[in-house]
Amino acid sequence: MDTQDIQLLMTLHRTGNITRAAEELYTTQSSVSKRIRQLEKELGIILALRSRQGIQFTPAGEIVLRHVKAITRELNTMNQELNDAQGIISGTLRVGVSINYAMYRLPPLLRRYQEQYPLVHTQTLIEVSQKIFSMFIAGKMELAVVRGEYSDWDGPRILLDREPVCIITCREHKQIPLGALPQVIRKADLEMERDTALWRRENKIPTAQNQIFVNNTATCIEMVRQGVGWGIVPAICLAHFDGCVHPMYFADGRPLVRSTYLLYTEQSAALPQIRAFITLLEQGKPQLP
């Protein structure tokens, strides 16, 4: 068994599928299947069973996987230490990023990071904040960029952005009361739903008779732009919106805002490639009031 075999097994375990593993390894399904059979012959075991659901490792295969993961960790640690000794930043960066931040803030920052640290292997997951937070807590990533407060996290965090949440309408609907228009409702987390429900009660905004439910902010904005109705959208998404924008306020005068945080652990921040990414995100923060 060599390093290519280790990479094959790790990829197969992660994807759970020979087709996807072959695509990631830039080889053919038949080559992957052939190498698995060769490894099984060398080790005298059945590594995995194939079904319609994908690949399922056998108990013996799980033992091999456990040792393969340990070898991978040791190899990564060795390479990291060798590069550190030479002042080279390398290793792996695993970061989860909320969808809106990934769309409107991340691309230039990630490109700059990749250009500055080409030896770092970046694994970036774009998802809803709650899923990112759950995976971060489970130790599946070193950094998490999430939107919302997450008061149950008591580790280090950095405020990356804080922007108002806004009512948006097209210009043709500028003088029309919200209650007379359909509402375009985008999927949001519980915190945002709670805040917007409170705002509606305080401002006596009735539930719209006609509602359009969408699963992302971009669709909501485009629906509003086309005059379908009104929507509630954080300002981070509105740089190119040409309609009417009104920041939302509670009855006591507080603005309804949306915060974005970078979560990390002191242990992960000690790694050079992680610290470099943290520094880059801090440098990319907009000026906060």
Given a cut of 70, whether residue 264 has pLDDT beyond it is yes
Q: Please, what is the average pLDDT of the chain?
A: 90
147 beta partners: 260
Give 67-106 pLDDT, tens digit per residue: 988 888 888 778 777 767 667 788 889 999 999 999 999 9
Check: CB of residue 199 under 8 Å from CB of residue 248. yes
The pLDDT of residue 35: 87
Q: Which residue has the tokens 């990390």?
A: 264
Dihedral sign from CA coordinates of 89, 95, 101, 102 = positive
Q: Which of the residue ranges 40-44, 54-58, 227-231, 280-284 has the most confident prediction, judged by mean pLDDT?
A: 227-231
Rounded Cα distance, 78 and 56, in Å: 31
Q: How confident is the model at residue 24 (pLDDT cuts 50, 70, 90)?
A: confident
Banded model confidence at residue 16, pLDDT cuts 50, 70, 90 = confident
> How many angstroms separate the CA atoms of 186 and 189, rounded?
10
pLDDT tens digits, one per residue of 46-59: 988 888 778 888 89
Mean pLDDT of 56-69: 89
Residue 73, pLDDT score: 82
Which residues does 64 contact at the CB level (< 8 Å), separation at least 6?
9, 43, 45, 47
Residue with tokens 């390398």: 90
CA distance 90 to 81: 9
Per-residue pLDDT tens over the stretch 166-218: 999 999 999 999 989 999 999 888 889 999 999 999 988 888 889 999 988 99
Q: Which residues on adjacent β-strands are paired with residue 75?
A: none
Q: How many CB atoms lie within 10 A of CB 186?
A: 20
Q: If phi over 0 gives left and psi between -120 and 50 gives alpha, with beta otherwise, what is residue 54? A: left
Q: 272 to each of 3, 120, 184, how far by Cα in Å? A: 25, 10, 44
- pLDDT for the residue 263: 97
Could you tell me what percent of the chain has a pLDDT over 90? 56
CA distance linking residue 164 with residue 28, whole number of Å: 50
pLDDT above 70 covers what percent of the chain?
98
- Convert the pLDDT of each residue in 105-117 to its tens digit: 999 999 999 999 9
Pairwise CA distance, residues 73 & 80, whole Å: 10
Task: Write phi, then psi, for 25 (nearest 5 degrees).
Answer: -90, 5
Domains of the chain, first to last = 3-84 (1.10.10.10), 87-160+259-283 (3.40.190.10), 163-258 (3.40.190.10)
